[in-house]
Structure 1
Amino acid sequence: MGKTLVEKIWDAHVVKRQEGFPDILYIDTHLIHEVTSPQAFDGLRKRDLPVLRPNQTVATADHNVPTVDQHLPIKEELSRYQVDMLSKNTKEFGVELYGLGHPYQGIVHVIGPELGITLPGKTMVCGDSHTSTHGAFGAIAFGIGTSQVEQVFATQCLLQQKPKTMKIEVNGTLGAGVSAKDIILYIIAKISAAGGTGYFIEYAGSAIRALSMEARMTICNMSIEMGARGGLIAPDDITFDYIKGREFAPKDAKWDEALAYWKTLYTDEDAQFDSVLEFAAEDIEPMLTYGTNPGMGMGVTEHIPATEAQPESERPSYKKALAYMGFEDNQPLLGRDIDYVFIGSCTNSRIEDLREVADFVKGKRKADHVEVWIVPGSKQVEAQAKEEGIDKVLESAGFILREPGCSACLGMNEDKIPAGKYCISTSNRNFEGRQGPNARTLLASPLTAAAAAITGKITDVREFLNKEAELELA
């Protein structure tokens, strides 16, 4: 019997397998940041151990960094301490650090791909749940806890149970205004925030194959939001073209050797998945969430589902979520006023996202009552945006291009949404307090977020696109 892509990569990295025990899995690349690494470094000190393979470890500062005036000392004491500790720890243990001021600094899941560190067939881990982003390249990538960070530091291996496999196929052609973010929010809404629990997911189908690498990263990034261990997409020419020529990608003869291997990374025709789901791209419209987990999502023209339609055991938490958000059963959200727009995070902060937003807002102006934060995923994205004049387009629309970091994806730095305010966010989580105490988050695509910024309310971006198309035809 053939193997799935997950099985091929996993089995190639098993150092030791014994019945009744987890596999000892070799880790090719370990990504770290300032939040989940300090205790792991302390653990090494206590046991007088080095980082076994520092050349396979890459560090950056992202979660706690400010996105304005990064050349100045960090104001928040805890944030400043964590960033300073990362500098101290990486220097002591000989780990490469892309800290504040470095041209490669940025969100850990943005810099890995853009630097050519993320490659097909790798195993990659990070003390961050959205490590699944790197699976877009045909890699096994997943988040780990702090004790496991220490384990990888010390051994370059992890004890891991082999996951079950799921295939999610999306076939057909996406409609205007519908993007990768809408695909993944749609899938999560259909199968719930727990629908992928215990699985490693392979995304397939014609709609997935048509996506750019940056769009594929958005899909894989949010695999964790349906409870999955991770997600991946088999590499193809789109993947190889993206990687070629990047800073740390293989060169010359090593490129040819790597490419030959990467072309073997696909699921065999006779391979068996533990579960298979299929969706039609034509059924997906611009999406947004209305509750406090990513599974509480709906099409922008739909109404909030009724509490009575939920399983009885889930009704109390469902009512609590709607109360937190200030929403009601059967309520439409189209046309509702919003206060903030955040475009950024490891889900949607790449140059393709910023180009899409700039193209949409060119010649338009944001609503006066809305505050808009545009946060690039890395210094390289920031530099490219400025080189292309995207910063000027955004500025003309009343937006400001800030400096790289996780920003308002999570309330761990200075960029917090005030209590009670509504934020259309391109990030990945809408938990209570995720963007700040009592902040109210609605997840959406960059296009939907940009449309809300212009109108000041929840808007079906297709209305704009249809009007623009009509003008072009006139």
Structure 2
Amino acid sequence: MGKTLFDKIWDAHVVHAVNASQEVLYIDRHFIHEVTSPQAFAGLRDRGIGLFRKDQTVATADHNVPTINQHLPIEEPLSRIQVETLTKNCAEFDVNLFGLGHENQGIVHVIGPELGITQPGMTIVCGDSHTSTHGAFGTIAFGIGTSQVEQVFATQTLLVSKPKKMRINIEGQLSEGVLSKDIILYLLAKLTAGGGTGYFIEYAGEAIESLSMEARMTICNMSIEMGARGGLIAPDQKTFDYIQGRDYAPSGQEWTEALAYWKTLKTDSDAEFDLEYTFQASDIEPMVTYGTNPGMGLKVTENIPSGLSSSKQESFSKSLEYMGLQADQPIQGLAIQNVFIGSCTNSRMEDLRIAAKYVQGKKVKEGVRAMIVPGSQQVSKQAIAEGLDKIFTEAGFEFREAGCSACLGMNEDKIPMGEYCVSTSNRNFEGRQGPGARTILASPLTAAAAAIHGKIVDPREN
């Protein structure tokens, strides 16, 4: 029997089988940031040991950084302490750090791919759940806890249980105005926020293969929102073309050898999955969420559901109450006060170009605060070179500096209590963007349209 792509990568990284359910897995790349690394560094210090393979660890500051005046000292005390601690720890343990002011600084899941650090066939971990983003390159990438961060520091391995395997096929071609963010929100609405629990997902099919690398990253990024351990897509010529020539990509003979290996990374035709789904791309429309988990989504043309099964009705009603919405209410036409285009889900050049194309020559609706936050210094520099910053500012957007920003209420870019924010981020939990904030997840195109109209609209018709 053949092997899945997941099996091929996993099996190649097993150092030791502890028992029938647990194995020691070798880790190729370890990304860290300022939030989940301090305790792990402290653990090394207390034990009097260093990093086992420091050259395989890459650090950046992203979660707590301000997105204006990054050249000045951070004003918020906790954020300042966390970023300063990361800087000190990386200096002490000789870790490669892309800190504030560095040309490569940015959101950890943006800079890894754009620098060529992320490569097919790798195992990649980070103390951040959206590490699944890197699966777009044909990697096994997943988030880990702080104690596991210390384990990787000390041994470059992890004690893990192998998840089950799921494949999701999206067949056919997407309609105009439908983006990869709409695909993953559609899948979440169909399979629920728990539909992938216990699985690692491979995305396949004509619609997936037609996507750019940046679009594939968006889908893999939100695999965790389905409860999955992660998600991956088989590498192809688009993958190889994206990586070639980047700062940390192999070159010369190393490139030739790497490419030969990468081309073997595909699921065998006779491989079996524990669970498999097939959906049609033609059924997917622009999507938004209406509730307080990413699985509570609907097409922008639909009404909010009237209810769920009795066992889930209480949480459904509580979610609508928090969001200030009613069952059977159309989602189109809902007035919004904030728009955030950014996060590790949708802050790359493709996302910014899509939004800029829509807003060019238009104006943000009066009373709406709209932010564009590039995912990295490189994205920001390229956007400015293409004049996108001027398009956004002339339309009334704030064009800010690189960081996680309003994806989460962990920095200064919070959404005010009770206000709606159409956000290209990945989570809409209660208080995710600030205490009492109401988050509606959407694609960059749908978010840009909401900013211009001051309400949720179908971007294909406006």
Partners of 1:70 and 1:169 in 2: how far apart?
A: 42
**Once the two structures are superposed, what CA deviation does each residue of 1:94-130 show, in whole Å capped at 9, x if it has no partner?**
1000000000000000000000000000000000000
Shift of 1:60: 0.1
Shift of 1:19: 2.9
Residues 341-420 of structure 1 mapped to structure 2, 5 A cutoff? 341-420=339-418
User: Counterpart of 1:39?
Assistant: 39
**Once the two structures are superposed, what CA deviation does each residue of 1:369-388 show, in whole Å capped at 9, x if it has no partner?**
10001000000000000011
SS of the equivalent of 1:415 reads coil
Query: Is contact 2:171–2:207 with CA below 8 Å preserved after alignment?
Result: yes
Partners of 1:29 and 1:142 in 2: how far apart?
A: 11
Partners of 1:103 and 1:40 in 2: how far apart?
A: 26
User: Counterpart of 1:297?
Assistant: 297
The one-letter amino acid paired with 2:295 is G
Partners of 1:69 and 1:317 in 2: how far apart?
A: 41
Residues 178-327 of structure 1 mapped to structure 2, 5 A cutoff? 178-307=178-307, 310-327=308-325
User: Counterpart of 1:437?
Assistant: 435
> Please, what is the CA RMSD of the aligned residues?
0.6
**Once the two structures are superposed, what CA deviation does each residue of 1:306-353 show, in whole Å capped at 9, x if it has no partner?**
12xx12111111100000000011110101110000000000000110
The one-letter amino acid paired with 2:391 is V
Shift of 1:51: 0.7
The one-letter amino acid paired with 2:117 is I
The one-letter amino acid paired with 1:460 is D
The one-letter amino acid paired with 2:257 is E
Query: Is contact 2:416–2:436 with CA below 8 Å preserved after alignment?
Result: yes
The one-letter amino acid paired with 1:429 is R
- Unpaired segments ≥5 residues, structure 2: none
Partners of 1:378 and 1:20 in 2: how far apart?
A: 42
Partners of 1:36 and 1:65 in 2: how far apart?
A: 14
Shift of 1:40: 0.3
Instruction: Return 360-369 or 416-425, whichever deviates more.
Output: 360-369
Partners of 1:217 and 1:77 in 2: how far apart?
A: 33
Q: In the alignment, does 2:93 pair up with 1:93? A: yes
SS of the equivalent of 1:16 reads strand
Partners of 1:220 and 1:83 in 2: how far apart?
A: 27
SS of the equivalent of 2:428 reads coil
Partners of 1:458 and 1:199 in 2: how far apart?
A: 34
Shift of 1:167: 0.2
Residues 41-120 of structure 1 mapped to structure 2, 5 A cutoff? 41-120=41-120
User: Counterpart of 1:164?
Assistant: 164
The one-letter amino acid paired with 2:198 is G
The one-letter amino acid paired with 1:362 is Q
SS of the equivalent of 2:422 reads strand
Shift of 1:173: 1.0
Query: Is contact 2:18–2:24 with CA below 8 Å preserved after alignment?
Result: no
Deviating 4+ runs (over 6 angstroms): none
Partners of 2:226 and 2:21 in 1: how far apart?
A: 26
SS of the equivalent of 1:391 reads helix
Query: Is contact 2:345–2:425 with CA below 8 Å preserved after alignment?
Result: yes
Q: TM-score, normalised by structure 2?
A: 0.99
Query: Is contact 2:338–2:422 with CA below 8 Å preserved after alignment?
Result: yes
The one-letter amino acid paired with 1:221 is N
Partners of 1:303 and 1:219 in 2: how far apart?
A: 25
Partners of 1:400 and 1:406 in 2: how far apart?
A: 15
SS of the equivalent of 1:463 reads coil
Shift of 1:400: 2.1
**Once the two structures are superposed, what CA deviation does each residue of 1:176-227 show, in whole Å capped at 9, x if it has no partner?**
1100000000000000000000000000000000000000000000000000
Partners of 1:35 and 1:132 in 2: how far apart?
A: 18
Partners of 1:275 and 1:60 in 2: how far apart?
A: 37
The one-letter amino acid paired with 1:439 is A
The one-letter amino acid paired with 2:402 is P
Q: In the alignment, does 2:136 pair up with 1:133? A: no
**Once the two structures are superposed, what CA deviation does each residue of 1:227-276 show, in whole Å capped at 9, x if it has no partner?**
00000000000000000000000001110000000000000000000000
Partners of 2:394 and 2:18 in 1: how far apart?
A: 62
The one-letter amino acid paired with 1:228 is A
- Unpaired segments ≥5 residues, structure 1: 465-474
Shift of 1:21: 4.7
**Once the two structures are superposed, what CA deviation does each residue of 1:438-464 show, in whole Å capped at 9, x if it has no partner?**
000000000000000000110100103
**Once the two structures are superposed, what CA deviation does each residue of 1:61-81 show, in whole Å capped at 9, x if it has no partner?**
000000000011111100000
SS of the equivalent of 2:460 reads helix
User: Counterpart of 2:329?
Assistant: 331
Shift of 1:419: 0.1
Shift of 1:18: 3.5
Instruction: Return 81-90 or 11-20, whichever deviates more.
Output: 11-20
Partners of 1:275 and 1:245 in 2: how far apart?
A: 37
The one-letter amino acid paired with 1:355 is R
Q: How many residues align?
A: 462
SS of the equivalent of 1:249 reads coil
SS of the equivalent of 2:124 reads strand
User: Counterpart of 1:124?
Assistant: 124
Between the aligned residues of both structures, percent identity stands at 69
